[in-house]
Structure 1
Amino acid sequence: MLRLCLCLLVVGTTAVRANSAVYTKDIHLVVKTSAGDPDGEAAARRVTADINGLQLVRRHLGEDLEFHAVHDDIPEADSNARDDIINAIAQHPDVKSATQQQGFRRNKRGFRSSSSKVKNIAVSNPNGRNNTTATMGGSTNRTEQQLPEPNDPLFEKAWFLKNTGQSWGTPGLDLNVLPVWEAGYIGRNVTVAIVDDGIDYLHPDLAESYNAEASFDFNSNDPYPFPKYADYRFNSHGTRCAGEVSAKRNNRICSVGVAPGSRVAGLRILDQLYVTDLLEAAAMSHRRDIIDIYSASWGPTDDGKTLDGPLKETSRVLRDGITLGRGGLGSIFVWASGNGGPKDDCNCDGYTGSMWTISINSVTNDGSPAIYGESCSSTLASTFSSGRGAGLDAGVATVDLYGFCTLYHSGTSAAAPEAAGVFALALEANPRLTWRDMQHLVVLTSQKRGLQDESRGHKWERNAAGLKFHHLYGFGVLDAGAMVEMAQIWRPLPERFECTAGRVAQPVYFDVRQEVELTIDSNGCDFDSNSRVRFIEHVQAFVTLRASRRGDVLLFLTSPSNTTSMLLGRRPMDSDSKKGFTDWPFMTTHMWGEFAAGQWTLRAEMSASSANYTQHGLITDWTLVIHGTQDPPYRDIPDKPGSTIAQVKRIQREHLS
């Protein structure tokens, strides 16, 4: 059998518009060959031989009969020629279907204030200290144990690794990684892929950590994902994220990564005007046999009015990744929650709202939410990305392009790779952790101490399983010490089930003066052995609604245990009155560990802060899907008296009795 050429996922900087759709200059298609020929590759080659200008690129996601093909021989402005080519491919006797790929924008989530420019800092002399205090437990409860500190010159500025109060921060409020390093865990044998605009793998602080085997440039179709120079683009983004994860320790260069012994891979898909679903899917499934964690600090536009998420192929890759990645343990997808600030809601981003990803928000060094951080019920936890001050030590210290260092990396872009580094530490401590194990560890070990209580109208709440959550922070700030400690004693979770609890499919009107409540009884989830869910992990509410102004719609979901989660907050920039939401999967983690059976309530209302009191909405469909386990999830895991897991286990035992 002939070998296919390497993936040619090149998206031109020009695009063709057809109605409201945007297409790349070259025609990219998913071609499905007829099942009548079991040799799909031979059939695909017959198609490319019969149609001039059509090239066979690669087998699509390992499927026998699906292929990625590209046609690059078309006049740019000739839409009729484009249609003729697509029709000719679709009508070929060996083709069952041919789907053209649209182009769309994906934005990096780095944050740059309007008052300062990004600065590169060349560092040659160490300025480290040689002692610190920490324990494997909580980050604000340290002993006087003396631990050596790295000699990397910017380590003293890395307040997210060790917060001594730099830039008006709160001492002790950090990721608590030093005791993990002292215990010998630095992320060995773990590969983190930075899916971004490439990484500078020649940087002396990254060269030793770089995993060339796991890297690829999908823009240029080669295995060298080096960032391309451009004055008008922020092409240091991926390099900075990589440094947060894997920058080496004690080499007297820049700072140090959260997991300095881990390997880092570069998957270059950004740095262009448009990407496609095929491009994203190829990157997020690349070498999932050797890549453990995919870190993505990008997504749809954070403008407070966009409603967007992964399309068909990328959704499929994320779903398949949790069963096919890491030999069946599941790929771990980490996503930056977004930089839309209080005027946006990250549940309108289908990447961060996915139950297959771990959505990470941003916290400053004094425990307040970052000004650009979004709130939503799908956020699982937070890490750090900004300091209070405007000085050199206010941002995240990391590497930069061409051998430089920077102290200005920021945004939720900086938060996601920190989380990926913490997860790499946990995977070294226990390589058998599954994608679900990692999410449970996040829920059980994230720290609340030092974080502000009431922020933007949200405050800490406790669900019926005894777990505290916040619409901005999720379950708190990641604590590497606590996570690694629990990872070492972790036991396999019970099997995961999902249950469609019910559906309400009737039009219901609501407005500023009259809210509406819809209810579903989920008792079937407790008694049907094929889809029985008793203890909750994720909850999805698939909602279809239209409104005179989409940004004024508020949605709340209340569990049988009376825990209420805001599924959708007000978005003042969103003036949509036509599209609304169509079967949109709002997701919440706030009922984690609760009991699924009973009455669930979805409440919809129009924001009273709306200037127009004639605003109204119409819900036409709501489906409730509950994910979790039939058996108590932590029954086999040791616990300490008074710990979070001990509390949850006690509550769940009382429920069963």
Structure 2
Amino acid sequence: MPPGPPLLRAPLLLLLLLLHFLGALARGAVYTNHFLVELHDGGQAEAEQVAAEHGFGVVRKLSFLESGYFFYHNGLAKARRRRSLQHKLRLEKDSRVRKAVQQEGFIRRKRGYRDISDIDINMNDPLFTKQWYLINTGQADGTPGLDLNVAEAWELGYTGKGVTIGIMDDGIDYLHPDLASNYNAKASYDFSSNDPYPYPRYTDDWFNSHGTRCAGEVSAASNNNICGVGVAYNSKVAGIRMLDQPFMTDIIEASSISHMPQVIDIYSASWGPTDNGKTVDGPRELTLQAMADGVNKGRGGKGSIYVWASGDGGSYDDCNCDGYASSMWTISINSAINDGRTALYDESCSSTLASTFSNGRKRNPEAGVATTDLYGNCTLRHSGTSAAAPEAAGVFALALEANLHLTWRDMQHLTVLTSKRNQLHDEVHKWRRNGVGLEFNHLFGYGVLDAGAMVKMAKDWKTVPERFHCVGGSIQEPEKIAPSGKLFLTLTTDACEGKENFVRYLEHVQAVITVNSTRRGDLNINMTSPMGTKSILLSQRPRDDDSKVGFDKWPFMTTHTWGEDPRGTWVLEIGFFGSQPQRGVLKEWTLMLHGTQSAPYIDQIVKDYQSKLAMSKKEELEEELDEAVERSLKSILSKN
């Protein structure tokens, strides 16, 4: 057992594009005592020598940079309003140093930290019968059958064995009797305190219980008469403590996201930029690079799986303004309550892929998420999309046990194909079908995860074809947005047909947009695909009164056109929605297409002919047949 706690204490084009918009992110002018230092050559010994000569300490070598190191200076305040140019220049004048960057501090908030005071699977854990999101029999006035369908996955023998999930949060109570047996100490680290013991810092209000609660949802042990059980109760959980500090830095985020990517399979994040309805923010340069390395190199090249809570800003916010939840490299998860309705804090956006469960409307004390709590305790009060993301991580762990060869993209395809509408109900946004018949909702994505369906499909899954990236076109001329009416722009694309990077079957689509307006929060942006699928890229955010920054090369992302043919005319629609007339200028719209050239499901085995997979293969098979007939006709005509 680990020692106890201290005393109370992408492809190049895509990457360049994403890095380019970093300058526009809303940054606070706060500078920390953390420095990124890159050497020309030399190893750890030289880094320590350079640091010592200039009054610094070396925290660690950065795995995502060939010659990058994390330096700190105890003589500087942990947060100050002015840069320390003298320390930066002193390092840069050293001939051994290629670059030195003082790290800015920014805010990252835990999501869903709010106090909301019979199948026989042979579980003796006292809270198991209250874990309605695992098996919903109508507990707490819920809707029977509205759950993650984990019972089917468990009965098939999948419990998460051999899979490690990293909880990036405020620490884990790894001494908790319901977590200790599944705790992976070797894969854990405290990036806030720079030691291998990610135990939560003590506070009187138990504010730092967030990570422990998330960990229990995934990996709490079964049949030990303690609390409840995890979705993947035989998986291993690693604690990555990186929250619970006044300011986050790029170097801490990047280090956390890239921590032990050959050991940790799934990273679960229930945090992000402030959900106040007026923040536009996302990962900085180092974190983007670490995420790109993760999906390309993690898990032996199969790719790290990043699961992100979509956000808790409710109808006042839009998760497409969150660069983590709206990243193509993450699986963004929203939540429903136990009767299928949306939670009051749920944000909606076109980048959300699927949903799980949480609490948010009911006062019933048993309608929350039952899980582990600090100091060996249990709770029924976990909530928010913070609770939703770890549930998804647990389901993905079950799928990985069924097939360890799944790539990060395979997991996204499985999510699209096996998530179900079930009995989910969105009072605002209707359920619709895209151009290839896949049903989706603007808030719930492709539906609620179904663990049984996912493990069955994962078992026989064949890796999807190679992914390509195409700039589908761009409009660079400024266009005025009138106070009344809407601006409509069109882009006609061949999706790079005839080139090496041709995209025929879509996965993700980005609309990279630069726009300014007299009130950013009143902007409403929609985009319609050639196959007629409308994605709401940005909804009104009534609390966002920005009139200066706007959006600068911001990549609005949609998953709603999954599987569609991108060739044809795309339509962008921009207008204002608010009580007062506003003005604006669209300066740029670039269409980024990401997907495959060959049919992604052509080699998959259909076992349920009513499934989304069967429907998708029907479209693909018909197209393959049409192309074969056309080739045959051309061959016959050429011979004659």
Q: TM-score, normalised by structure 1?
A: 0.89
After superposition, the Cα gap between the structure-2 partners of 1:479 and 1:59, relative to the gap in structure 1 and judged at 3 Å, is same
* AA at the equivalent of 2:599: P
Structure-2 separation of matches of 1:55 and 1:229: 27
Structure-2 separation of matches of 1:625 and 1:204: 48
Q: Which residues of 2 match residues 472-511 of structure 1 at below 5 A?
A: 472-511=443-482
Equivalent residue number for residue 497 of structure 2: 526
Structure-2 separation of matches of 1:411 and 1:450: 20
Equivalent residue number for residue 233 of structure 2: 260
1:522, distance to aligned residue in structure 2 (A) = 1.7
Q: Secondary structure at the match of 1:164?
A: coil
Equivalent residue number for residue 284 of structure 2: 311
Equivalent residue number for residue 514 of structure 1: 485
Contact 1:366-1:388 within 8 A present in 2 as well: no
Deviations 1:41-81 (A, max 9, x none): 46534532431x21222222253322221122247899889
Which of 599, 616, 619 is the aligned partner of 1:651?
619
Q: Which residues of 2 match residues 340-355 of structure 1 at below 5 A?
A: 340-355=313-328
Q: Secondary structure at the match of 2:105?
A: coil
Structure-2 separation of matches of 1:75 and 1:380: 41
Q: Secondary structure at the match of 1:526?
A: coil
Q: Secondary structure at the match of 2:286?
A: helix
**Quick check: 1:637 aligned with 2:576?**
no
**Quick check: 1:21 aligned with 2:29?**
yes
Structure-2 separation of matches of 1:371 and 1:217: 33
Q: Which residues of 2 match residues 304-453 of structure 1 at below 5 A?
A: 304-386=277-359, 389-452=362-425
* AA at the equivalent of 1:148: I
**Quick check: 1:580 aligned with 2:547?**
no
Structure-2 separation of matches of 1:157 and 1:76: 44
Which of 53, 65, 73 is the aligned partner of 1:50?
53
Structure-1 separation of matches of 2:216 and 2:65: 35
Structure-2 separation of matches of 1:76 and 1:28: 8
Structure-1 separation of matches of 2:451 and 2:490: 40
**Quick check: 1:455 aligned with 2:427?**
yes
Equivalent residue number for residue 219 of structure 1: 192
Structure-2 separation of matches of 1:28 and 1:233: 28
Equivalent residue number for residue 535 of structure 1: 505
Equivalent residue number for residue 111 of structure 2: 109
**Quick check: 1:193 aligned with 2:199?**
no
* AA at the equivalent of 1:498: H
After superposition, the Cα gap between the structure-2 partners of 1:579 and 1:396, relative to the gap in structure 1 and judged at 3 Å, is same
Contact 2:198-2:239 within 8 A present in 1 as well: yes
Q: TM-score, normalised by structure 2?
A: 0.91
Structure-2 separation of matches of 1:78 and 1:351: 26
1:450, distance to aligned residue in structure 2 (A) = 0.6
Structure-1 separation of matches of 2:354 and 2:267: 17
1:233, distance to aligned residue in structure 2 (A) = 5.8
Equivalent residue number for residue 207 of structure 2: 234
Contact 1:446-1:477 within 8 A present in 2 as well: yes
Equivalent residue number for residue 60 of structure 1: 62
Q: Secondary structure at the match of 2:332?
A: strand
Q: Secondary structure at the match of 1:358?
A: strand
Structure-1 separation of matches of 2:82 and 2:576: 45
After superposition, the Cα gap between the structure-2 partners of 1:627 and 1:524, relative to the gap in structure 1 and judged at 3 Å, is closer
Contact 1:30-1:60 within 8 A present in 2 as well: no
Equivalent residue number for residue 122 of structure 1: none
After superposition, the Cα gap between the structure-2 partners of 1:346 and 1:76, relative to the gap in structure 1 and judged at 3 Å, is closer
**Quick check: 1:627 aligned with 2:627?**
no
Structure-2 separation of matches of 1:343 and 1:77: 30
Contact 2:189-2:239 within 8 A present in 1 as well: yes
Structure-1 separation of matches of 2:177 and 2:361: 30
After superposition, the Cα gap between the structure-2 partners of 1:515 and 1:489, relative to the gap in structure 1 and judged at 3 Å, is same
**Quick check: 1:297 aligned with 2:270?**
yes
Contact 1:466-1:651 within 8 A present in 2 as well: no
1:349, distance to aligned residue in structure 2 (A) = 0.3
Structure-2 separation of matches of 1:357 and 1:233: 29
Equivalent residue number for residue 157 of structure 1: 130
Structure-1 separation of matches of 2:269 and 2:471: 30
* AA at the equivalent of 1:71: H
Contact 1:192-1:264 within 8 A present in 2 as well: yes
After superposition, the Cα gap between the structure-2 partners of 1:20 and 1:285, relative to the gap in structure 1 and judged at 3 Å, is closer
* AA at the equivalent of 2:285: K
Q: Secondary structure at the match of 1:527?
A: coil
Which of 202, 214, 222 is the aligned partner of 2:175?
202
After superposition, the Cα gap between the structure-2 partners of 1:75 and 1:322, relative to the gap in structure 1 and judged at 3 Å, is closer
Deviations 1:193-215 (A, max 9, x none): 10000011111110100000100
More displaced stretch, 517-526 vs 627-636: 517-526
Q: Secondary structure at the match of 2:358?
A: strand
After superposition, the Cα gap between the structure-2 partners of 1:76 and 1:177, relative to the gap in structure 1 and judged at 3 Å, is closer
Q: Structure 2 regions of 5+ residues with no counterpart?
A: 1-8, 10-26, 627-640
Identity, in percent, stands at: 55
1:111, distance to aligned residue in structure 2 (A) = 3.8
Contact 1:168-1:389 within 8 A present in 2 as well: no
Structure-1 separation of matches of 2:517 and 2:47: 46
Contact 1:542-1:622 within 8 A present in 2 as well: yes
Q: Structure 1 regions of 5+ residues with no counterpart?
A: 1-11, 13-18, 118-130, 133-146
Deviations 1:310-330 (A, max 9, x none): 111111111110111111110
Structure-1 separation of matches of 2:82 and 2:234: 55
1:512, distance to aligned residue in structure 2 (A) = 3.4
Contact 2:351-2:557 within 8 A present in 1 as well: yes
Deviations 1:245-270 (A, max 9, x none): 00111111111110000000100011
1:275, distance to aligned residue in structure 2 (A) = 1.3
* AA at the equivalent of 1:654: E
Equivalent residue number for residue 182 of structure 1: 155
Q: Secondary structure at the match of 1:333?
A: strand
Which of 18, 36, 59 is the aligned partner of 1:30?
36
Which of 571, 577, 585 is the aligned partner of 1:618?
585
After superposition, the Cα gap between the structure-2 partners of 1:76 and 1:584, relative to the gap in structure 1 and judged at 3 Å, is closer
Contact 1:526-1:596 within 8 A present in 2 as well: no
Contact 2:369-2:383 within 8 A present in 1 as well: yes
Q: Secondary structure at the match of 1:402?
A: helix
* AA at the equivalent of 1:604: I
Contact 2:466-2:596 within 8 A present in 1 as well: yes
Deviations 1:155-175 (A, max 9, x none): 111100111111221100000
After superposition, the Cα gap between the structure-2 partners of 1:475 and 1:44, relative to the gap in structure 1 and judged at 3 Å, is same
* AA at the equivalent of 2:65: E
Q: Secondary structure at the match of 1:102?
A: strand
Q: Secondary structure at the match of 1:565?
A: strand
Q: Secondary structure at the match of 2:173?
A: coil
Structure-2 separation of matches of 1:511 and 1:590: 28
Structure-1 separation of matches of 2:184 and 2:305: 18
After superposition, the Cα gap between the structure-2 partners of 1:249 and 1:387, relative to the gap in structure 1 and judged at 3 Å, is farther
Contact 1:216-1:224 within 8 A present in 2 as well: yes
1:464, distance to aligned residue in structure 2 (A) = 0.8
Q: Which residues of 2 match residues 581-596 of structure 1 at below 5 A?
A: 581-596=551-566
Contact 1:243-1:398 within 8 A present in 2 as well: yes
Contact 1:398-1:406 within 8 A present in 2 as well: yes
* AA at the equivalent of 2:305: I
Contact 2:435-2:533 within 8 A present in 1 as well: yes
After superposition, the Cα gap between the structure-2 partners of 1:236 and 1:76, relative to the gap in structure 1 and judged at 3 Å, is closer
